[in-house]
Amino acid sequence: MSISALSYRPVDILRFNTCGSVDDGKSTLIGRLLYDSKSLMEDQIEALERSADITGGGQINLANLTDGLRAEREQGITIDVAYRYFATPRRKFIIADTPGHVQYTRNMVTGASSANLSIILVDARLGVIEQSRRHTAIAALLRIPHLVVAINKMDLVGWSEERFLEIRAQFEAFLPRLDIKDVKFIPLSALNGDNVVEPSPHTPWYAGPTLLGHLETVHIASDFNLTGFRLPVQWVNRPNSPTDATLHDFRGFSGQIAGGIVRTGQKLLAFPSGIVTTVKQIWTYDGVVHEAFCPQSVTLVLEHDIDISRGSMLVALDQLPGSSCDLQAEVCWMHTRPLQVGKKYFLKHTSHTVQVVVTELIDKLNMSTLESEPAPTALAVNDIGEIKLRAARPLVFDGYSTNRLTGSFILIEPGTNATVAAGMLRAPHDVFKPDAADYVI
Amino acid sequence: MSSYHLDHLQHLETEAIHIMREVAGEFERPALLFSGGKDSICLLRLAEKAFRPSELPLPLLNVDTGHHFPELNEFRDRRSAQLGAKLIVRTVEDAIAKGIATPAPGEVSRNRLQIPTLLAAIEEFQFDCCIGGARRDEEKARAKERFFSFRDSFGQWDPKNQRPEIWNLYNGRLNPGENMRVFPLSNWTEMDVWEYIQRERLEVPSIYFSHQRRCVRRGGQWLPVSALVPPKPSEEVCDLVVRVRTIGDIISTGCVESPAMTVADIISEIAAARVTERGSRADDKASEAAMEDRKKAGYF
Ligand SMILES: Nc1nc2c(ncn2[C@@H]2O[C@H](COP(=O)(O)OP(=O)(O)OP(=O)(O)O)[C@@H](O)[C@H]2O)c(=O)[nH]1
Ligand SMILES: [Mg+2]
């Protein structure tokens, strides 16, 4: 947007996360990826060697690069997501190394929610187990567009192609039940670095790319939707300047565009008032622009003085969202106190928080079969299910499958303020129908 | 289609602006921690981008350890004034005098003592949220941090029990006495910060650039000689052409030999660097969990 930005060479970012069961080798794999791609600095390697002398009997533990908490290093497990950043000449990468332990599934969801690609690790000795299915189901639910199944510890199964194909078949048996488009299988050893950055001499039967080769070349489509303009208002920009006449009457609505494109002169519908107005000016710190798009942060000045505040939403007239108190969503339950019908929660959606009550539990995903089981009595921690909610005020939303930003929410438990669920809204039954009589001022 | 493309800095920028505005929308009394260092310089520009043409809706807060580089404080005061922002400074010196912070016998470093000083300032002004410039790529305990990092009524971070943080939906709800630390630059690397400084043509304190300085060799690094760091007779002292890569206290910040005179020079230097920026901070070398321990106690 700024002039200086024009001369800048755009660089792609790929955000990916590791998932899979505890001890499958996720952290070791990230360590290996950083080490073999020469992304580690001398002082980081020194620190790694120092801790090997004290705790590892002289063996470097690559997992220590991301297991940054004392409790993690003591137990040799990952508790919370670690974020790492590295770049090759082809791409920038943001890695979220997430925990495999079932107790920390909420942290896996945290790390996965922003990913364009998930690497699911499987221990070649164990094959597909419940946690592999759970994490794959979560990745599918979050609609992460690309999946890599990394069949790890191939060194411990004698580099057997048969074993590789067997595990691949285990995956392919349940993948059709999930909505995942792009899946790649790679045999590797995170510990020794086979097929991570360098091709392995042990897998002459594998013709595909190394893990890094795949990460560098996989096509990444934008996560952001360029149709159906949406601006959830975060903050009303009111300078109230008594001295500066131009600022005295300035009233702008600041937010990050959550979908589509906006232009000056365009007509917008303002929720919740339902009133149509026109974009007078698109204000940014770098100057006024005539057009802005998702996910830019802007401040809109409108023609009419209507009641708009934090939590309001400005939308384009051509593609209207749903507006309803009755909601249906898939949720990932993350708290040890189970979800109960009849209980009230706060729901945060875009910049808007409302009270909701859970009215119905529709179904729950069986993690062994990945089939839905109807009418469960509760959703316990780490369960995935579909629910109905009733909100105290209407929510202006899209289905998660059309717009991640206006189709997602979190549930917060009153009192403890714990974030207890991640929710993905089903598309609205009807889009909002403006009432022709009072719709324009 | 390609004209609707953001490069990686623009992505990081819009993410950070969104977070700043969430803070303004969700908290009653937020503050922004401004030290004058490169990260908080970026934070201030992001605050301008988030809130202009209005005044910044939050004051700036700085904990002065009394061991700051003088160039840093001069810059801090000047930049705050330029922006018309309210700057609140609380000093460790004063906290010691009031008994809020108590040094251990012989304790020279102000590192630990800035924690109670900060917590007392939060208490004094009843801040419910402090925005800080910490980045996940700085250190491995920081790599575990959320954008919205919850602190209990003692200011403590509980890394084993962080709130899940999903998509860009931040849970800012607090009970009385609790506090949020918010880190809009979480996903920025050292390189991103300098590229942003270059793109936005931001001024930075002179000590980031190459200058002549008398240094003493101690603990494998070059520390600036000052009244607080007098060289011992046995130590090697040299006049060097140096700059600082990260600014901590004058007694613990290592200087690196460097000819970098411009932001562009610094960017090329970092691109070729073989050690991390924290490699020059004695406070982090103390132990593998030094940062984690300080953060649990209420540090940033
Ligand atoms: N033989 C062999 N061992 C491996 C391989 N990859 C990882 N390991 C070992 O498996 C153990 C667990 O590795 P981690 O990387 O900590 O596992 P993780 O998946 O990150 O575990 P959590 O994060 O706790 O879920 C360590 O002892 C590793 O050295 C491999 O390819 N071959
Ligand atoms: Mg791990």
pLDDT tens figures, A37-82: 988 988 888 888 887 766 666 678 899 888 888 889 888 899 999 9
CA distance A428 to A425: 8
Q: Given this model, what pLDDT does residue A8 score?
A: 39
A29 φψ region: left (φ > 0), alpha (ψ -120 to 50), beta (else) = alpha
Residue A208's pLDDT band, with cuts at 50, 70 and 90, is very high
Dihedral (C-alpha) A159, A163, A164, A166: value to the nearest 10 degrees?
170
What one-letter code names the amino acid at B138?
Answer: E
Host domain of residue B267: 206-282
Q: Are residues B119 and B182 in the same domain?
A: yes
CA dihedral (A258, A264, A266, A272) positive or negative: positive
**Which tops the pLDDT comparison, B7 or B85?**
B85
Q: Are residues B212 and B145 in the same domain?
A: no
Q: Is domain A230-316 classified as CATH 3.40.50.10680?
A: no
Residues of B in contact with A10 (CB under 8 A): 5, 7-8
Considering only A50-64, A222-236, A329-343, A403-417, which range has the smallest mean pLDDT?
A: A50-64
| Tokens (6 digits) for B205 | 């304190």
First to last CA, chain A: 32
Q: Are residues B90 and B12 in the same domain?
A: yes
Residue B14 in any domain: the answer is yes
**pLDDT of A186 above 70:** yes
So where are chain A's domains?
3-217, 230-316, 322-425
Q: Given this model, what pLDDT does residue B140 score?
A: 87
**Exposure string (b/e) for A381-393, b if CB count within 10 Å is 16 or more?**
bbbbbbbbbebee
The mean per-residue pLDDT over the stretch B40-68 comes to 96
Closest CA to B163 of B142, B148, B185: B148
Number of domains in chain B: 2
| Tokens (6 digits) for A315 | 């939308």
Q: Are residues B241 and B92 in the same domain?
A: no
Entry pTM: 0.94
Instruction: Count Cβ atoms below 10 Å from residue A125 Cβ, excluding itself.
Output: 11
3-state DSSP assignment of residue B298: coil
Which helix (H) or strand (E) is B89 found in, with range?
A: strand B87-91
Which CATH number describes the domain made up of A3-217?
3.40.50.300
Contact (CB<8Å) B160/A80: yes
Which listed ligand is nearest to A63 at the C-alpha? Answer: 1
Mutate to test the pocket of ligand 1, among A29, A77, A97, A191 (most ligand atoms within 8 A of CB): A191
Burial class (CB in 10 A: 0-12, 13-18, 19+), B161: exposed
Distance A213 CA to ligand 1 centre (A): 22
The mean per-residue pLDDT over the stretch A311-318 comes to 96
Contacts for B99 with CB less than 8 Å, ≥ 6 apart: none
Distance B66 CA to ligand 2 centre (A): 41
Contact (CB<8Å) A69/B6: no
Which helix (H) or strand (E) is A42 found in, with range?
A: helix A42-55
CA distance A273 to B259: 60
- Phi first, then psi: what are they for B2, rounded to 5°? -65, -20
Residue B157 in any domain: the answer is yes
Contacts for A229 with CB less than 8 Å, ≥ 6 apart: A257, A259, A260, A261, A262, A266, A268, A314, A315, A316, A319
- Nearest atom of ligand 1 to the alpha carbon of A76: 16
3-state DSSP assignment of residue B214: strand
Q: Which residue from A minimizes the CA distance to B140?
A: A68
What one-letter code names the amino acid at A153?
Answer: K
Closest CA to B244 of B271, B204, B184: B204
Of B14, B55, B141, the CB nearest to A69: B141
The mean per-residue pLDDT over the stretch A160-183 comes to 94
- H helices of A142-193, where? 161-174
% of chain A exceeding 90 in pLDDT:
76
Name the residue at shortest CA distance from atom 32 of ligand 1. A153
Contact (CB<8Å) B292/A417: no
Residues of B in contact with A4 (CB under 8 A): 199-201
Q: ipTM score here?
A: 0.93
CA distance A253 to B286: 47
Q: Write down the residue that tokens 């390697």 correspond to.
A: A45
Residue B1 in any domain: the answer is no
Which listed ligand is nearest to A152 at the C-alpha? Answer: 1
pLDDT in tens, B242-290: 999 988 888 988 999 999 999 999 999 999 888 888 776 656 555 667 7
Q: Are residues B94 and B188 in the same domain?
A: yes
**Which tops the pLDDT comparison, B249 or A296?**
A296
Mutate to test the pocket of ligand 1, among A21, A26, A28 (most ligand atoms within 8 A of CB): A28
Residues of A in contact with B168 (CB under 8 A): 256, 405
Residue B101 in any domain: the answer is yes
Contact (CB<8Å) B11/A295: yes
Q: Given this model, what pLDDT does residue B1 score?
A: 40
CA distance A151 to A125: 9
Contact (CB<8Å) B21/A234: yes
Mean residue pLDDT of chain A comes to 91
Residue B2 in any domain: the answer is no
What are residue B292's DSSP bridge partners? none
Which CATH number describes the domain made up of A322-425?
2.40.30.10
- Nearest atom of ligand 1 to the alpha carbon of A72: 24
Q: Which residue from A minimizes the CA distance to B17?
A: A297
Contacts for B286 with CB less than 8 Å, ≥ 6 apart: none
**pLDDT of B59 above 60:** yes
Q: Given this model, what pLDDT does residue A4 score?
A: 37
